[in-house]
């Protein structure tokens, strides 16, 4: 599974007085996409942390193209860009209900050993799940 998508409805608390989604909330939307991509692969952040692996974001880029509004349902498409090593990289496309691209984003995360607080290579159990993906 190289790509995965989720849907999320915009809550009132995520908007400003004009009903437009506050720009900082897009970071949460792409985090939701990434965690659900991992869950669909059979991996959860909780399990990774229990096994001593953290996955902090080390780079994020967001390109805002159109506004999203209160009560809209957005589709967040998350795609693994390449096989991970010490880092894992995702691309995101967020679509509105009319299937228009409203946001594009990219994140890079690093695998960190929780005990040593040092970078580590992607755990084998993740690489095994990704072995069948064609890049």
Among 23-27, 39-43, 105-109, the range scoring the smallest mean pLDDT is 39-43
Domain containing residue 77: CATH number = 3.10.129.10
Catalytic-role residue among 16, 71, 91, 124? 16
Q: How many domains does the chain have?
A: 1
> Predicted confidence band at 132 (pLDDT cuts at 50, 70, 90)?
confident
What's the pTM value of the predicted model, to 2 decimals? 0.94
For 4, phi then psi, to 5°, come to: -150, 150
Q: Is residue 58 part of a domain?
A: yes
Q: Is residue 135 part of a domain?
A: no
Q: Which domain holds residue 26?
A: 3-130
Using an 8 Å Cβ cutoff, are 73 and 9 in contact? yes
Q: Active-site residue 91, yes or no?
A: no
> Rounded distance, CA 11 to CA 35, Å?
20
């Amino acid at each position: 599974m190289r790509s995965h998508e989720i849907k999320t409805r915009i809550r009132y608390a995520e908007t400003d007085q004009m009903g437009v989604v506050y720009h900082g909330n897009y970071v949460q939307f792409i985090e939701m996409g990434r965690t659900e991509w991992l869950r669909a692969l059979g991996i959860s952040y909780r399990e990774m942390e229990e096994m001593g692996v953290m996955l902090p974001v080390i780079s994020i880029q967001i390109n805002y193209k159109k506004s999203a509004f209160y009560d809209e349902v957005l589709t967040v498409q998350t795609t693994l860009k390449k096989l991970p090593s010490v880092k894992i990289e995702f691309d995101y496309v967020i679509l509105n209900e009319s299937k228009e691209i409203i946001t594009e984003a990219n994140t890079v995360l690093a695998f960190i050993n929780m005990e040593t607080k040092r970078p580590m290579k992607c755990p084998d159990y993740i690489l095994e799940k990704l072995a069948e993906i064609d890049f």
